[in-house]
């Protein structure tokens, strides 16, 4: 990797959503969610380029109208497949996968998450934030446990660690679905078949762990509001309209 690697951010943006149709273009205050994601991620000084990757002509037209760089992709089953096509069509050394339904993302999230890769400690990195025990019971929130060096041991929709005797008061961490990868790690991911753990949990990052590839997990003090439901949209709107 060169001394000054080219870092490219990609926002996979699928218009269709079963729980919240058209969610990436739903309005939050004065602008649609996707515009919030792009503008907030664009504040990260480490990103050399930032693109939306979509198979939707409607999303593409929106991006063009707003001056947002956009890559029109083929139809893909997952955001990682869409990201892979974007990688094949760009010339980056490091890629950041930014979810199109994370309108409260901060530049600090991106820059903090990239440090292990830039320091040569890992080829894949992501984020975690402390959470309470009640939230840990929610299967819609992905949890992560790490070793003492910050490498992921496991991701799960179940509350992990499991406090068997109810006396240890374990710490729970929410996984924030922002990823950094070297180009090599991303290309490798798409040569590996789906893993059994990945299929069981419906979590693609487990493919790396099952194949012995470390994921560095950096802690952030800043939670995010991922939008999957109308209630999430209201929470994100409240956050963005009152943020100081």
Nearest 5°: the CA angle 100, 76, 182 is 65
Q: What are the φ/ψ torsions at residue 109 (nearest 5 degrees)? A: -60, -50
Say what the pLDDT of residue 244 is: 60
pLDDT digits (tens, 9 = 90+) for 38-73: 999 999 999 999 999 999 999 999 999 999 999 998
Give mean pLDDT, residues 187-192.
Answer: 92
pLDDT digits (tens, 9 = 90+) for 110-155: 999 999 999 999 999 999 999 999 999 999 899 999 999 999 999 9
Give me the domains of the chain, ranges plus CATH numbers.
Answer: 1-105 (3.90.550.10), 120-223 (3.90.550.10)
How far is the C-alpha of 23 from the C-alpha of 93, rounded, in Å? 30
Give mean pLDDT, residues 154-171.
Answer: 90
**Dihedral angle, C-alpha 149, 154, 158, 160, nearest 10 °:** -30
pLDDT level of residue 75 (50, 70, 90 thresholds): confident
- Top pLDDT among 2 and 131 is at 131
Prediction pTM value: 0.94
How far is the C-alpha of 124 from the C-alpha of 186, rounded, in Å? 9
pLDDT level of residue 83 (50, 70, 90 thresholds): confident
């Amino acid at each position: 990797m060169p001394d000054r690697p080219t870092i490219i951010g990609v926002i996979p943006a699928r218009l269709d959503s079963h729980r919240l149709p058209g969610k990436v273009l739903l309005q939050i205050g004065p602008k649609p969610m996707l515009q919030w994601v792009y503008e907030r991620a664009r504040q990260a000084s480490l990103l050399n380029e930032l693109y939306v990757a979509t198979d939707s002509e409607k999303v593409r037209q929106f991006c063009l109208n707003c001056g947002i760089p956009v890559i029109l992709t083929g139809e893909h089953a997952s955001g990682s497949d869409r990201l892979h096509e974007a990688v094949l069509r760009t010339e980056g050394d490091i890629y950041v996968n930014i979810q199109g339904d994370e309108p409260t993302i901060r530049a600090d999230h991106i820059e903090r998450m990239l440090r292990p890769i830039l320091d040569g400690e890992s080829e894949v990195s992501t984020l975690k934030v402390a959470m309470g025990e009640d939230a840990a019971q929610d299967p819609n929130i992905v949890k992560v446990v790490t070793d003492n060096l910050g490498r992921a041991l496991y991701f799960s929709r179940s509350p992990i660690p499991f406090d068997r005797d109810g006396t240890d008061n374990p710490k729970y961490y929410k996984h924030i679905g922002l990823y950094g990868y070297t180009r090599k790690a991303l290309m490798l991911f798409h040569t590996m078949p789906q893993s059994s753990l990945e299929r069981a949990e419906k979590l693609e990052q487990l493919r790396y762990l099952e194949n012995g590839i470390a994921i560095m997990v950096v802690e952030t003090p800043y939670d995010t509001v991922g939008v999957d439901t109308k209630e999430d949209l209201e929470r994100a709107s409240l956050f963005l309209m009152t943020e100081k």
